[in-house]
């Protein structure tokens, strides 16, 4: 399936006052956040990407136009330094379409603008370019195909660190509970769409607040409930958390590393060509759409 990635927003909550880089290009380890998202999809065989660009488009284009596989992959150098054979490759089988979808476009409008590049696709995937997760993608796709719905999203527990107060009639606090303990779910992205989604998208509107709300009202929006690892990079605090996990070697989102640890034989490729458990996630009609937009 083709993968549409929304990576044109300004990412104001991520700014640290010293960098104007677009949020998808914030580094996690030695590669940008966007690369980690794309590598996750590529691990499951989805290597045809459509990048919905806006703010920071030049940074994203330049990164891939000048991508150096030897910087982060093992290789063999021969011929007096003239020949390089990679022992592992990141991008060799990737196809990336870079599309300007507007500087201030909503996510729904960005999706509308890439429609011509999805002709003939009965199903396609879409996601924010700033969320890392270990969601079992093949299972999500299989359940969506069987659901008959037009769209699905991943539902995750509330991510806020705030606490909710229970206040009695005398205005005394009777209880304090973390938001994460409430039986509500947030929109976590990792969308799967039938091409029918374009029939309900209106010009200029947001994807979640617009099209998905109408689909939910008609029973055509499904949700895959995931209680495993899911971390956005909306804020500097979240970005720091991801960097700490990366440096510690605990990288639940890096499903490709787990596979590599099983010991597959590396394939030589020419250089010009490279935390959480999963307790019974469920897939069902989405009761509401809230959270990320």
The boundaries of the domain holding residue 51 are: 2-156+185-285
Residue 140 CA from chain centroid, whole number: 14
Q: Is residue 178 part of a domain?
A: no
Q: Is residue 292 part of a domain?
A: no
Q: Is residue 176 part of a domain?
A: no
HSE at residue 286, side-chain half, CA atoms within 13 A, is 33
In order along its 293 residues, the chain shows pLDDT tens digits of 999 999 987 654 444 544 567 889 999 998 999 999 999 999 999 999 999 999 999 999 999 999 888 887 888 999 887 888 888 888 888 999 999 999 999 999 999 999 999 999 999 999 999 899 999 999 999 999 999 999 999 999 887 666 777 787 777 787 787 766 766 788 899 999 999 999 999 999 999 999 999 999 999 999 999 989 999 888 888 889 999 999 999 999 999 987 665 444 333 333 333 233 333 334 444 444 445 54
Q: Is residue 61 part of a domain?
A: yes
DSSP string, 22-75: -GGGSEETTEEHHHHHHHHHHHTT--EEEEEE-TTHHHHHHHHHT--GGGTS-E
Report the distance separating Cα 118 and Cα 50, nearest Å: 9
Residue 149 contacts residue 286 (beta carbons within 8 Å):
no
HSE at residue 251, side-chain half, CA atoms within 13 A, is 18
Residue 189 contacts residue 132 (beta carbons within 8 Å):
no
Q: Is residue 290 part of a domain?
A: no
For position 195, what pLDDT does the model report?
A: 94
Report the distance separating Cα 38 and Cα 59, nearest Å: 16
For position 177, what pLDDT does the model report?
A: 75
Q: Is residue 180 part of a domain?
A: no
The closest alpha carbon to 152, from 285, 50, 13, belongs to 285
Overall domain count for the chain: 1
The SS3 call for residue 19 is coil
Q: Is residue 49 part of a domain?
A: yes
Report the distance separating Cα 92 and Cα 83, nearest Å: 17
Report the distance separating Cα 175 and Cα 166, nearest Å: 5
The closest alpha carbon to 118, from 138, 100, 133, 97, belongs to 97
Q: Is residue 34 part of a domain?
A: yes
| Structure letter (DSSP) for residue 14 | G
Q: Say which residues have a Cβ less than 8 Å from residue 34's Cβ, sequence separation at least 6.
A: 5, 7, 24, 25, 60, 129
Where are the strands (E) in 66-190, listed by range?
75-78, 83-86, 95-100, 123-128, 131-133, 151-156, 163-167, 173-178, 186-187
CATH number at residue 209: 3.90.550.10
């Amino acid at each position: 399936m083709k993968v549409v990635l929304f990576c044109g927003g300004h990412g104001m909550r991520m700014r640290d006052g010293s960098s104007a880089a677009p949020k998808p290009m914030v580094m996690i380890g030695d590669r940008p956040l966007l690369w980690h998202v794309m590598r996750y999809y590529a691990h499951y065989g989805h290597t045809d990407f459509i990048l919905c660009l806006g703010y920071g488009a030049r940074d994203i284009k330049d990164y891939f136009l000048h991508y150096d596989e030897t910087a982060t992959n093992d290789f063999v150098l021969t011929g007096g330094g003239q020949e390089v054979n990679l022992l592992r490759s990141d991008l060799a089988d990737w196809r990336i379409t870079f599309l300007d979808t507007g500087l201030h476009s909503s996510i729904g409008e960005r999706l509308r603008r890439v429609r011509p590049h999805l002709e003939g696709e009965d199903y396609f995937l879409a996601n924010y370019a700033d969320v890392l997760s270990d969601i079992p993608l093949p299972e999500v796709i299989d359940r969506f195909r069987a659901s008959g719905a037009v769209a699905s999203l991943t539902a995750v527990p509330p991510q806020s660190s705030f606490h909710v107060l229970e206040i009695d009639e005398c205005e005394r606090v009777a209880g304090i509970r973390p938001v994460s303990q409430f039986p509500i779910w947030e929109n976590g992205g990792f969308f799967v769409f039938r091409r029918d989604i374009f029939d309900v998208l209106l010009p200029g509107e947001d994807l979640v607040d617009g099209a998905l709300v109408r689909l939910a009202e008609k029973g055509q929006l499904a949700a895959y409930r995931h209680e495993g690892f899911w971390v956005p990079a909306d804020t500097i605090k979240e970005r720091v958390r991801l960097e700490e996990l990366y440096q510690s070697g605990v990288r639940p989102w890096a499903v490709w590393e787990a596979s590599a640890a099983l010991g597959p034989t590396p394939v030589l490729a020419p250089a010009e060509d490279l935390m959480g458990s999963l307790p019974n996630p469920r897939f069902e009609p989405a009761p509401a759409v809230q959270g990320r937009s």
